Structures are given as C-alpha cells and as structure tokens.
Amino acid sequence: MDKFFSKIKYFIVIILGFALLAQLYRPYILNKNQKESYDFFKALNAPKKVQHLIINSCYDCHSNNTNYAWFDYISPISWYVNTNIERGKTIVNFSEWKSYEEWRKLSTLSASTFNIKNLRMPPENYLIAHPSKKLTQSERQYLTKWFETISRTTLE
C-alpha cells in the first residue's frame, strides 16, 4: 500500500510540473490598439442600452477589447480561450466595423440577429464560465429588434 502511495506522489509531482511548465507558454496579447472611429457604436450611434448589452455579451470575442477573467490567463485555459477569440474575431470584429463593406455589415447584422434569437451567441460553454453575460429573453428581443431596424435603414 505504501508503495502505491509513493507512486501516486510521483505522479502528482509530475502532473504539477507539467502544469507549471505550461504556464511558460503564455498567449500573446490579443488586444490591439484600436482605432476608435472604426467601432460599431461610433459608426451607428447606438443607444447606451445596446452598447451595454453588446459590450457585455459579445465584445470578449468579437472586438479588440477582450476583458479577460483571471482564469483566462492560466494555461491551458488561455490556449483554448485565445483560439476561440481569434475565430470569433475573424468572423465578426465590432471594433473594425467601419472598415467593413456594406454587404459584410448587412450579413453580420442578420447573422447576429439569427444567432442571438437561437441562443447560439454568446456560446453555451462561455456562459457556464461567465453567467453574467447571459442575455435575458427581453434583452434578446430588444437587441434583435435594434439590429433589424438598423439593417433596414441606411448604414452610413
């Protein structure tokens, strides 16, 4: 039995060693200096409530202003988190809104409406770690209505 426990101890030490080593591989900083005038809200003159909801629920993955939680810095969580942010930003980056062409703005607006309505954004696994980012039903309705209204009006 003693032998068994000493083996377990080695095992734990090795695991801890790997966990510590993993911290050396830090993700790069994803937040770039953003040109403010390119931002979604600036461009669209969005109401404060819309700004608040989108910053809270979408900006961590779809803007140049990710608000990292403390555990997001810990490897391997940080690797997973940054891969997701990169994927999210490639598809939609609200900080670079003004540089988007008309067709891309329109498709982003309708895809956002669709994804919010169908509870696909913000993603489920993200909401488990960040429960405060969840949108209530009335918030979802408010946001999607606003998205639909600006899709109909001229964007510039």
List of residues contacting ligand HEC (CB under 6 A): 57-58, 60-62, 84, 87-88, 91-92, 108, 111-112, 115-116, 121-123, 126
Q: Which of 56, 108, 66 is nearest to 48 (CA)?
A: 56
Supply the minimum distance, in Å, between the C-beta of residue 92 and ligand HEC: 5
Q: Which is nearer to ligand HEC, 7 or 52 (CB)?
A: 52
Q: Which of 48, 32, 146 is nearest to 85 (CA)?
A: 32
How many Cα atoms occupy the beta-carbon half-sphere of 31 within 13 Å? 6
62 neighbors 116 (Cβ within 8 angstroms): no
Q: Which is nearer to ligand HEC, 44 or 116 (CB)?
A: 116
DSSP-assigned letter for residue 31? -
Supply the minimum distance, in Å, between the C-beta of residue 3 and ligand HEC: 46
Supply the minimum distance, in Å, between the C-beta of residue 42 and ligand HEC: 17
